[in-house]
Amino acid sequence: MGFRQRRRTAQISNRGQSSGIGLQQRFAPHWPSLGQTLALLATGFWLGYLPLCGGPGGSLGSGARGVGLGSVAWAEDQAIENLRVRPDPKFLPPKGYVCFRAGGTITVDGKLDETAWQQAAWTDDFVDIEGSAKPAPRFRTRARMLWDDEYFYIAAELEEPHAWGTLTEHDAVIFHDNDFEVFVDPDGDCHRYGEFEINTLNTGWDLLLPKPYKDGGQADNGWEIPGLKTAIGIDGTLNDPTDTDRRWVVELAFPWKVLGALLPGVEPGQGVAPAEGAQWRVNFSRVEWQHELVEGKYSKVPKQPEDNWVWSPQYTINMHRPETWGVVQFSKARVGTRPAREVRYKPDPLLPIRWQLSRVYYAQQAHRARHGAYATELTQLDLTRLEDDLLTGPLTLRKQDIGYEVWAPVRLPGGEEMTCVIDHESKFTVRQANAPQSGD
């Protein structure tokens, strides 16, 4: 979603201006005082939420821009969100999907008429980005996945009575149209992940995030996906308001040479397909705008926020929280075969540990937003139930030269011991028991 941490909050354009529903509307009952606002803005600069030049994310749009009201509102929104987001003590597992090998050639044409696509399972229907607490989406969305030696294939079916689009320039801010979006973090460390957005006109936007915006990340809008194949199928008529359409279909083929290079230590263009059983963090998002007809043409309803529907719920209006993305497990079994029918999705046993570490991370973000500094003891964070059956001891907070790390000692059911770590920029790593530990 580009720099969109502000879904249903401050609507920030790529020109750094504020439009749509602003913070005054969403947070009116708790609007901060002048002193609180200054503190939040200072926190925004300190944490990297508010760049000195450029808009949110600091890299989108046409050239460097000074700080305007849109950027100020965005920084306040992000700081307030850090005060608000506190993951539930109960672990909420992300969606999972087994991606099988395609049995034959896939032609990317938007038709999905190959036998392999017919045999591939659909994901669960998409839900609101905030989860089941919000109303179900107005239109059905679902996806399928396949792979071969060269590509990671993704197909999506988007129910849509009015298929329309306006953007035709590559790397435009595609979510200003109705769109479909893909997020991929191969090693699941919440850093260095790719994003791709596409609209009904087959116009794409690819970008790379070295780390999430909330951690000071700035999007690399110049990142490209050489060899990417895309196609759109329209079951109806595009940009014709005189009839009722049925759906539009997205078909994508992402080259492993590019996606695999998102892994640490892999040179650009040298990526390869995942190993048997490998699990990548992946999520899909659909942006849907309310529309009206202006002089016989589709147009977005002014000052109406977009709907955001996703495969794996984010529990907040922000796609750039990779710890809640879904999990795609790759299998070499060919789709539709007996071996494929015997494969089961196996949730990563470390997912609940990651959840607990994320709770500490968000509590630390809130603590710094309130007090101007990270907590030095976990007891300062008012967290309960920091526990899991795999933990062999309590979580420990360790100060670093910059920021902090939280360590979780773990023993897997098979007896393997390791330490799971999250740092002040939400990066998650696993260190084997005998590996050197920083801070020792």
pLDDT tens, 232-241?
A: 999 999 999 9
pLDDT for 205: 98
Read off the pLDDT of each residue in 4-31 and give the average, rounded to a whole number: 31
Asked if 359 contacts 89 with a C-beta cutoff of 8 angstroms, the reply is yes
**Angle, in degrees to the nearest 10, between helices 351-371 and 34-47:** 130
Q: What is the pLDDT of residues 331-344, one digit of tens each?
A: 999 999 999 999 99
Half-sphere exposure of 27 (CA within 13 A, CB side): 21
438: amino acid identity, one letter: S
Containing H/E element for 257? helix 256-259
Q: Residue 288: pLDDT above 90? A: yes
The DSSP-derived string for 268-334 is TT---PPPTT-EEEEEEEEEE--EEEETTEEEEPTT-PPEEEESS--SSS-S--GGGSEEEEEEEEE
Q: What is the pLDDT of residues 96-149, one digit of tens each?
A: 999 999 999 999 999 999 999 999 999 999 999 999 989 999 999 999 999 999
Q: How confident is the model at residue 9 (pLDDT cuts 50, 70, 90)?
A: very low
Quickly count: other Cβ atoms within 10 Å of residue 403's Cβ. Answer: 13
CA distance 67 to 9: 19
Tell me 220's DSSP state: B
Class of residue 246 by CB neighbours under 10 A (exposed 0-12, middle 13-18, buried 19+): exposed
Q: Residue 159: pLDDT above 90? A: yes
pLDDT, the chain, mean: 84
Residue 87: helix, strand or coil by DSSP? coil
Q: How confident is the model at residue 432 (pLDDT cuts 50, 70, 90)?
A: confident
More confident residue, 34 or 297: 297
Q: How confident is the model at residue 385 (pLDDT cuts 50, 70, 90)?
A: confident
Give me the count of residues in the chain: 440
More confident residue, 98 or 39: 98
How far the first Cα of the chain sits from its last, in Å, is 39
pLDDT for 28: 30
Q: What is the pLDDT of residues 64-99, one digit of tens each?
A: 223 333 444 444 555 555 555 666 778 999 999 999
Read off the pLDDT of each residue in 354-368 and give the average, rounded to a whole number: 95
pLDDT for 406: 98
Read off the pLDDT of each residue in 156-162 and give the average, rounded to a whole number: 98
Read off the pLDDT of each residue in 192-215 and give the average, rounded to a whole number: 98
**Among 100-114, 141-155, 389-403, 422-436, which is the least confidently predicted range?**
422-436
The DSSP-derived string for 126-185 is PEETT-TTSPPPSS-EEEEEEE-SSEEEEEEEEE-SS------STTS-GGGSSEEEEEEE
144: amino acid identity, one letter: R
pLDDT for 107: 98
Can you give the C-alpha Rg of the chain in angstroms? 22
Q: Residue 32: pLDDT above 80? A: no
pLDDT for 40: 47
* Residue-wise burial string across 363-387, b where 16 or more C-beta atoms lie within 10 A, e elsewhere: bbbbbbbeeeebbeebeebebeebe
Containing H/E element for 99? strand 96-101
pLDDT for 396: 97
Q: Which residues are CB-neighbours of 409 under 8 A, at least 6 positions away?
A: 391, 392, 393, 417, 419
pLDDT for 38: 47
**Among 25-29, 318-322, 357-361, 387-391, which is the least confidently predicted range?**
25-29
Residue 254: helix, strand or coil by DSSP? strand
**Among 45-59, 99-113, 178-192, 249-263, which is the least confidently predicted range?**
45-59
Q: Residue 12: pLDDT above 90? A: no
Q: Residue 54: pLDDT above 70? A: no
Q: Residue 425: pLDDT above 60? A: yes
With vertex at residue 15, the alpha carbon angle to CA 9 and CA 18, rounded to the nearest 5 degrees, is 30
CA distance 49 to 45: 6
Asked if 94 contacts 329 with a C-beta cutoff of 8 angstroms, the reply is no
Asked if 428 contacts 421 with a C-beta cutoff of 8 angstroms, the reply is yes
Q: Which residues are CB-neighbours of 249 under 8 A, at least 6 positions away?
A: 110, 111, 112, 155, 156, 157, 158, 232, 233, 234, 235
Chain center to CA of 143: 16
Read off the pLDDT of each residue in 195-213 and give the average, rounded to a whole number: 98
Closest CA to 78 of 36, 19, 23, 13: 23
